[in-house]
Amino acid sequence: MRMSLPAILLLSLLAAACQKAAPGGNETAAASKAEPATPSAPAPKAAAAPASDCAPEPKLALARGFADPRKAFAPDAPAFRQTQAHFDAAWRKACASGVLRGHPLMDPKAAQPDTLFLKNAPDANDAAFYRDGDDNGPAADRVMVLEYFFLTADGAIHVPSADDLGEAIFCAAQGASEKEQEETGRCLVD
């Protein structure tokens, strides 16, 4: 079978484009098939937006003083893993939608700017991100926190949804306009 020169060039260009578009090719697919699927394993992180659009996602840890006698939010506990998964989803969505573009969530002056500490606030009604610690106090106390009613006084365990965390990220990074705050109450603190 004889092919014309334009057909050969077109096929060559297509083959080259496929190789450039999928680095690792079948190796990536084979690696994902080889991973065991266990319900207790944390979900793999999806690729975030390019570094120019978003800062690296902070890791989660428990704040000093997070009283959790039953260890419901220990790093290997289901509630902590679910909180991490919901935060991952909210972070990816905020990056992809541009909420974090030019509006960092993490304060670079925080003692650990790569870590977001979970702070229990049993009487809170929404998720909130802020830098905790007095500016005149010890530098080690100035950390970024995610405050939420993780454990309430009645012992109930609460995990924030990805939507709740996404709204809190928006409010901390950009905030609502004055008009939107007046009309809808978005991003207003109680």
Total domains, the chain:
2
Residue 71 and residue 161 share a domain: yes
Residue 73 and residue 8 share a domain: no
Residue 58 and residue 27 share a domain: no
Cβ–Cβ < 8 Å for 144, 117: yes
Has residue 46 been placed in a domain?
no
Angstrom distance (rounded) from CA 142 to CA 138: 7
Q: Both tokens of residue 160? A: 């924030």
Residue 85 and residue 7 share a domain: no
Extract the runs of DSSP E, i.e. beta strands, from 47-174.
59-62, 115-120, 128-132, 143-148
Residue 78 and residue 28 share a domain: no
Residue 173 and residue 83 share a domain: yes
Has residue 40 been placed in a domain?
no
Has residue 170 been placed in a domain?
yes
Closest to 65 (Cα-Cα) out of 10, 137, 4, 147 = 147
Alpha helices in 24-175 (DSSP H): 26-34, 78-97, 162-173
Weakest mean pLDDT among 50-64, 86-100, 157-171: 50-64
Residue 60 and residue 28 share a domain: no
pLDDT-derived band at 101 (thresholds 50, 70, 90) equals: confident
151 lies in which domain range?
Answer: 54-184
Q: Provide the terminal-to-terminal Cα distance of the chain, rounded to the nearest Å.
A: 76
Residue 164 and residue 90 share a domain: yes
The model's pTM is 0.70
pLDDT in tens, 70-97: 999 999 999 999 999 999 999 999 999 9
Give strand pairing partners of 59: 115
Residue 13 and residue 81 share a domain: no
Q: Cα 88 to the chain's mean position, in Å?
A: 3
Q: Is the pLDDT of residue 117 over 60?
A: yes
